[in-house]
Amino acid sequence: MPSRTRWLVTGAVVLVAAVPVAGYAVHNATRDPAVEKENVVWEDTFAGAAGTAPDPDKWLFTTGTSYPGGAPQFGTGEVQTYTDDPDNVRLDGSGNLVITATRDAAGGWRSARLETHRTDFEPAPGTTLEVAARMKLPVPSQGYWPAFWMLGDGFRGTYTNWPGVGEVDIMESTGRQPNLVYATMHCGVAPGGPCREHDGLSGRHTAPADQPLSAAFHTFSIQWDRSLPREEIRWYVDGRQFHTVHASDVDAATWAKATDHGFFLLLNLAIGGALPGGPDASTTPGGSLLVDFVSVKRL
C-alpha cells in the first residue's frame, strides 16, 4: 500500500489520479466446489477463538513506524504505530480478522499491518490467478486508510526498490471518501516514469451513496491473467470488473521488472498520510477493518 500516494515526495503531498474506465464487466462466480477446492493456492478463513492472533504460520506482523532501513512513516506520511497487540489485531471468534485503530494515553494512534509469509504468489504461464478478500470497511472517519494489496517479493528485506519491484493495490479506501475504492498498479520509477508515479496506473469504483462500504461485507479481488496474448490485471468489487491494466500500457522492461516474480499480500489500517489526509478533531478511535477471508486461487 505504499501508494503512490503512499510514497511521498519530500515537501509534496500527492493524491491518486483516476483513469477513466470504460464500462463494467461482471465476473461469473458460479464454479464447481470440487474444482474450487483443488484450485486453492492459499487461503485463510480466520477460524479461531475470540481474542487470539491470526495464524502465525500464514501471517507476520509489521510493527513500528517503518521497515528496518526504510523510509520513515513507511514513506507515506501515515502517523500510526503498528503493533501486534490484541487491541489492534485479533480474531473475533466468528470467523473474522479484526484490525482496529486505537489511541494511546498520549494521543498517539496505533493499528496493525499484516503480511503473508509466502512471497511466491503469481500465475504460471498461460494461467490466471485470483487474489480476493471479503471485507467490511471501517465506519467513515477522517484519516482512516484501510488497504488490501500486494508487493513484489524483492521488496521484503530491501525496502528501497519501490516502485520498480511492483505493487498492486487491490483495495484502498479513505475515511473522507467512504464510498470510493481505489485500484492501482505501481511500477517503473518515481516520480513520473511510465507508470505515472506517484499516482500509478489507477482506477476507481464508486458505491451507491445509500450503500456505504462500511455497511456490509464486500469482496475485493484481482485476476492476474497470463492466458491472453497481452497479459493483464483486472480489478473487481463483488464480481464486477471496474479497472484493467495491460502489459502493453508500459514498456516491456518495466512490466517484466514489476511482474516477473512472486508477490506477498498485505492487510492494514493506516491513519493519516497523503491519500486520506491527517486525522483531525472529528476522527474517532475504535474503527475496525473486518476480514472474512483472504484467498489465492487458480482460475
Q: Where are the domains of the chain?
A: 38-244+261-298
Question: Which pLDDT value is given to residue 38?
Answer: 86
Query: Look-up: residue for cell 504460520?
Result: 57
Average pLDDT for runs of 10 along the chain of length 299: 45 34 48 76 98 98 96 96 98 99 97 99 98 98 98 97 98 94 98 97 95 95 97 98 98 98 99 96 98 98
Question: Which pLDDT value is given to residue 1?
Answer: 54
Question: Which pLDDT value is given to residue 13?
Answer: 31
pLDDT digits (tens, 9 = 90+) for 66-77: 999 999 999 999
Question: Which pLDDT value is given to residue 36?
Answer: 76
Burial class (CB in 10 A: 0-12, 13-18, 19+), 228: exposed
The Cα-based distances of 250 to 185, 188, 218, 242 in angstroms read 11, 9, 31, 20
pLDDT digits (tens, 9 = 90+) for 249-261: 999 999 999 999 9
Instruction: Give the CATH fold of the 38-244+261-298 domain.
Output: Jelly Rolls (2.60.120)
Question: Which pLDDT value is given to residue 31?
Answer: 59
The Cα-based distances of 176 to 29, 249, 295 in angstroms read 31, 30, 28
The CA-based dihedral angle spanning residues 160, 129, 171, 50, taken in that order and rounded to the nearest 10 degrees: -100
Whole-prediction pTM? 0.90
